[in-house]
Amino acid sequence: DAKTTQPPSMDCAEGRAANLPCNHSTISGNEYVYWYRQIHSQGPQYIIHGLKNNETNEMASLIITEDRKSSTLILPHATLRDTAVYYCIGYTGGFKTIFGAGTRLFVKA
């Protein structure tokens, strides 16, 4: 499973887009990129996942580079409730899923 690298923390102004980067240079061809977030003292929440193409859902957009070595999660209009730790993981199945320390996003009014 791919090792992922994320910045430890980021700030974003409320109402602006939050762009969270993730490097996954060791990702293999059949590994999906998944994003989750964890609000303090709660279980992680699934956000989005993708393999090659960019993806969008009601929560966020996922942009994956053509070489698949990195991706960016975009929250188009961040709110205070988006303050959380965001995890990027790459895996082919649940048995080796490891969530790293993630990126702590602070959305400020």
Partner 1 sequence: DGGITQSPKYLFRKEGQNVTLSCEQNLNHDAMYWYRQDPGQGLRLIYYSQIVNDFQKGDIAEGYSVSREKKESFPLTVTSAQKNPTAFYLCATSFKINQPQHFGDGTRLSIL
- The CA–CA distances, whole Å, from 26 to 12, 61, 104 equal 29, 22, 23
Interface residue with partner 1 among 7, 15, 76, 100 (CB under 8 A) is: 100
Interface residue with partner 1 among 22, 70, 75, 102 (CB under 8 A) is: 102
- List binders of partner 1 among 2-31 (CB under 8 A): none
Q: How far is the CB of 84 from partner 1 (least distance, A)?
A: 13
- The CA–CA distances, whole Å, from 8 to 36, 54, 56, 98 equal 15, 24, 24, 16
- List binders of partner 1 among 27-86 (CB under 8 A): 32, 34, 36, 41-46, 49
Nearer to partner 1, 14 or 55 (CB): 55
Residues 107, 83 contacting (CB under 8 angstroms): yes
Cα separation, 13 vs 109, in Å, equals 6
Q: List contacts with partner 1 (CB under 8 A).
A: 32, 34, 36, 41-46, 49, 87, 92-102
